[in-house]
């Protein structure tokens, strides 16, 4: 065999291996018989050739072709290949599901209760299940778009506020206040570390004194003390009664008006005599070398 023929056969073999390898990586089986169906969608965003087709979570085929339906604008015809052994019940649908990572797959919703089946080449109705991302895009994006002007206004006001010199001064004052509070806290901590032990010692001493007082109070004979107080009160009562009676000198003095008036008059005369004695002592002291009286 010539060298050129060998090279040609090797090249053809390499091309065949490359062809089958690429199709294998795409999930296309070249030897397993498959049936071809069409699915009518209004939106195939994210779907591509070789996208997997599942039924009940099991891969049953792949997407082979996507074509815009010019006879029915707004619709896209998707050609799929599924296992030849799979019989698709009439009334079944195919839906596109958007996964978390943004990839799109096709799920066959088989209508098992149907007693008739589709033939290869028939068209299946397609629906879209956008999943969480699709719902978020549908529900949240309009609200986000409505909020954007308000958010822009808030950001603009925030920028103006941050650029206000008064805010900078306020921040500086807050920084100074924080530093002052830190210094005060340090001083308070130092003061407490010095005075608290002394205060604790004083409280301990007071507690000991109160304990001693309590012990002393426990030692008092309250019955004897109250007996003495009662006796003293009785003596005071007797003294009060005697002072109110005329049977004694003090009672007579306190209760006899005539005696009281005489004592007052005697006291007044004595005071007058003493005053006259001070003013005219010669009337009461007679002393002369010649025996002459001073009248």
As a three-state string, the secondary structure of 174-239 is: HHHHHHHHHHHHHHHHHHHHHHHHHHHHHHHHHHHHHHHHHHHHHHCCHHHHHHHHHHHHHHHHHH
Q: What is the pTM of this model?
A: 0.39
Is the per-residue pLDDT at 266 higher than 50?
Answer: yes
Q: What is the mean pLDDT of the chain?
A: 78
Who contacts 84 (Cβ-Cβ below 8 Å, separation ≥6)? 32, 33, 34, 35
pLDDT in tens, 277-290: 777 777 666 544 44
* Residue spans of beta strands (DSSP E) within 88-209: 93-98, 104-109, 123-129
Q: What is the pLDDT of residues 141-175, one digit of tens each?
A: 777 778 888 888 888 888 887 787 887 788 888 88
Q: What is the pLDDT of residues 85-114, one digit of tens each?
A: 889 999 999 999 887 777 888 999 999 999
- Positive or negative, the CA dihedral 118, 123, 127, 128 is positive
Q: Where are the domains of the chain?
A: 1-31, 32-129, 165-220
Instruction: Take residue 6 and report the two structure tokens written for it.
Output: 């060998």
Sign of the CA dihedral 166, 167, 168, 171? Answer: positive
Query: The dihedral of CA 57, 59, 61, 62: what is its sign?
Result: positive
- Helix/strand/coil percentages in the chain, nearest 5: 55, 20, 25
β-bridge mates for residue 63, sequence order:
80
């Amino acid at each position: 065999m010539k060298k050129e023929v060998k090279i040609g056969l090797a090249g053809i073999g390499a091309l065949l291996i490359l062809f089958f390898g690429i199709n294998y990586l795409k999930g296309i089986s070249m030897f397993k018989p498959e049936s071809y169906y069409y699915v009518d969608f209004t939106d195939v965003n994210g779907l591509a050739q070789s996208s997997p087709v599942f039924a009940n979570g099991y891969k049953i085929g792949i997407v082979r072709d996507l074509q815009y339906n010019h006879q029915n604008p707004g619709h896209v015809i998707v050609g799929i290949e599924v296992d030849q052994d799979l019989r698709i019940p009439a009334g079944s649908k195919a839906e596109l599901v958007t996964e978390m990572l943004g990839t799109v797959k096709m799920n066959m919703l088989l209508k098992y209760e149907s007693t008739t089946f589709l033939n290869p080449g028939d068209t299946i109705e397609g629906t879209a299940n956008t999943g969480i991302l699709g719902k978020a895009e549908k529900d949240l994006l309009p609200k986000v778009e409505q909020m954007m002007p308000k958010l822009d206004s808030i950001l603009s006001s925030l920028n103006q506020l941050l650029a206000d010199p008064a805010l900078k001064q306020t921040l500086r004052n807050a920084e100074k206040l924080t530093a002052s509070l830190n210094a005060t806290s340090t001083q308070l901590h130092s003061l407490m570390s010095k005075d608290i032990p002394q205060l604790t010692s004083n409280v301990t001493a007071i507690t000991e004194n109160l304990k001693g007082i309590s012990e002393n109070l426990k030692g008092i004979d309250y019955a004897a003390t109250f007996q003495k107080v009662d006796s003293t009160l009785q003596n005071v009562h007797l003294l009060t009664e005697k002072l109110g009676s005329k049977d004694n000198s003090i009672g007579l003095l306190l209760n006899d008006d005539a005696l009281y008036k005489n004592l007052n008059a005697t006291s007044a005369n004595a005071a007058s005599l003493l005053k006259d004695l001070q003013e005219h002592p010669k009337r009461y002291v007679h002393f002369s070398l010649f025996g002459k009286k001073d009248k």
